[in-house]
Amino acid sequence: MGDEQQQELDPDLLGRYTLTTWGYKQGEMVSLMVHLGTRLGLYEALDGAGVVTSTDLAASTGLHERWLREWLRGQAAADLLVSEDGETFLLEPEAAAVLARTGGPSFAAGVFRNLRHPEVADGLAEAFRTGLGLTYDDQGEGSEQHTEAMLAPMARSLLVPVVVPLLDGVVERLEAGAKVVDVGCGTGLALELLADAYPNSVFEGYDVSERAIAAARDRFAGRANVSLHLVGGEDLPATGDVDLVMTLDCLHDMPRPDLAMAAIREAIATDGVWLAKEIRSSPDWQKNRRNPVLAMMFAASVSTCMASAMSTPDGMGLGTLGLDPATLAEMATAAGFTRFVQHEVDDPTNLYYDIRP
């Protein structure tokens, strides 16, 4: 009972329940964005301003342009602002009545004042002023488990049975005994899936989150072929002997993915393979708009991914939707990789890449 593998599921009904359920999560996350918009006076600044860019809004509010751009795009994806191109934005007067005009009869944004994690919202509101974001460890107690809960279903169903076999020659190497490094390993779920499937290999996980590494250490207590390091991807040891490097849903979270990619190039064996999993995104606004949970993705970016990618003064701030295939290919080439293949995988959220020196 309850096992997807053993029951025939109606794909249309499954799709409907999936969208309905994620719609509630999207609502929760967009609520935080409305909270920030009200709290920072963004709707008031947009009211009557006509069509504006993030630079215009930065000038009129004194807030940080990059943060405003991500927030504006999320608001447009949430259908609270009008935007044809993801660059220019309009708060229509009717939307202003609901979101900006505090004294009016239609004003509704006041109910977004109270939040479950007020300290995270405090940090984000401050980030709009300073530009400096929040790390994963700043996200509050239990956030590492929340991240795992978000990502685990796809990782469990796809990584070992579908994705690894797409990488030419990798299964044989893992069976024989390979060195695997997971950069941005989080709580270590992917390492566990691979270590269970390929016990002859050795595994190393790297992450900058103390909480995630502590959870991963608990997970692997007593297991000799898995080691964990509280070290960022940019400081990966230049051993030149890693057979398989993985970066799963984490490069766009890193302040300096360019440095992490350069370090991966120095760590990987000349015949090694780098498996990158990144969020499905496009530089084309209208293509992104076809994603039914785009507003949730931008909310995740402002609150978590871009927040992390802006958490150092030199952060590039890519964010959830910032590493599309062309950008990743360009950055991988700049880091010294010469082969770049995107694999087709039935995953609505992520794209998978096989990158080699």
Q: Under the rule (CB under 6 A), what is the footprint of ligand SAM? A: 136, 147-148, 151, 183-186, 189-190, 206-209, 212, 232-234, 248-250, 253-254, 308
Cβ atoms of residues 291 and 263 within 8 Å: no
Both tokens assigned to 183: 């950069």
In the complex, least distance from residue 58 CB atom to ligand SAM, rounded to whole angstroms: 25
Looking at beta carbons only, is 38 or 143 nearer to ligand SAM? 143
CB of 183 to ligand SAM, least distance (A): 6
Determine whether 266 is exposed, middle or buried from the number of CB atoms within 10 Å of its CB (0-12, 13-18, 19+). middle
Min dist CB 288 to ligand SAM, Å, is 19
Long-range contacts of 223-229 (CB under 8 A, 24+ apart): 223/195, 225/195, 225/199, 225/201, 226/188, 226/191, 226/195, 226/202, 227/202, 227/203, 228/185, 228/188, 228/204, 229/204, 229/205
- In the complex with ligand SAM, the residue whose CB is nearer, 254 or 294, is 254
Q: Are 183 and 206 in contact (CB under 8 A)?
A: yes
> Count of CB atoms within 10 A of residue 8's CB?
6
Q: How far is the CB of 157 from ligand SAM (least distance, A)?
A: 13
- Classified as helix, coil or strand, 273 is strand
The answer to whether the beta carbons of residues 244 and 174 sit under 8 Å apart is: yes
CB of 131: closest distance to ligand SAM in angstroms?
17
Of 96, 108, 114, which is closest to residue 48 (Cα–Cα)?
96
**Least distance CB 185 / ligand SAM (angstroms):** 6
Between 63 and 259, name the residue whose CB sits nearer to ligand SAM: 259
Identify the burial level of 286 via C-beta atoms within 10 angstroms of its C-beta, where 0-12 means exposed, 13-18 middle and 19 or more buried. exposed
Smallest gap from residue 28 Cβ to ligand SAM (A) = 18
CB closer to ligand SAM, 204 vs 207: 207
Distance between CA atoms of residues 80 and 224, nearest Å? 52
Nearer to ligand SAM, 181 or 254 (CB): 254
Which one, 95 or 189, has the nearer CB to ligand SAM?
189
What's the token pair of residue 352? Answer: 């998978």
The C-alpha atoms of residue 113 and residue 39 are separated, in whole angstroms, by 8
Residue placing its CB nearer to ligand SAM in the complex, 72 or 252: 252
